[in-house]
Amino acid sequence: MDWCSLDYSETNIKHMNTITVPIPTREMNRQWLEIAWRAFVIWLVIIGAEFIHGILRVLLLEPRVGDFRARQIAVFSGAMIICTIAFIFVHWLKACRITELLFIGVFWLVLTIAFELILGRAILGLSWERVLSDYDLMHGGLLPFGMLILMFSPYIAGKLRGIV
């Protein structure tokens, strides 16, 4: 079945005041689960790429510009990596609606923040101050911009690839 041809006809729509809501069907639920699974797999690719990116940042960039400046620069190169991965894999996601692509972006955002907190605090034993310093815009932390790019990268890739 074509993922983008599910039945949103009048007989499958429930009107609630002025909001029109599709009634979920078994096929629609299966589609969302398939999209979520594929999004998770691509997120693992993103995390793997960002892990290598972080190693290269520490080895090549940090000795030249220092830890914090290297993390600032890496936000932009990391955003490029994420956008490239999203662009390559967006067709494989089988998402064809803006809501699906935005759901994927939010899903990636939640997974990434949870991963960063678990990695930073539980595995690397970093202080809260250190973990949250990348998110502190007032003190030069630029990671919120990177997270926005991460969140919107499926939508941007979908636009560039002509999906939405």
> What are the tens digits of pLDDT across the range 102-125?
999 999 999 999 998 888 888 888
Q: Please, which pLDDT band fits residue 2 given cuts at 50, 70 and 90?
A: low
How far is residue 97's CA from residue 113's CA, in Å, rounded to a whole number? Answer: 25
How far is residue 73's CA from residue 129's CA, in Å, rounded to a whole number? Answer: 20
- Asked if residue 6 has pLDDT above 60, the reply is no
- Asked if residue 83 has pLDDT above 80, the reply is yes
Q: Say if residues 134 and 71 touch (Cβ distance below 8 Å).
A: yes
| Nearest of 121, 135, 114 to residue 47 by alpha carbon | 114
What pLDDT does 5 receive?
55
Q: What's the mean pLDDT when you consider all of the chain?
A: 87
How far is residue 26's CA from residue 152's CA, in Å, rounded to a whole number? Answer: 28
Q: Please, which pLDDT band fits residue 40 given cuts at 50, 70 and 90?
A: very high
How far is residue 164's CA from residue 158's CA, in Å, rounded to a whole number? Answer: 6
- Asked if residue 7 has pLDDT above 70, the reply is no
Mean of pLDDT values over 41-68: 96
Question: In terms of pLDDT, which residue wins out, 141 or 20?
Answer: 141
How far is residue 57's CA from residue 52's CA, in Å, rounded to a whole number? Answer: 9
What pLDDT does 42 receive?
98
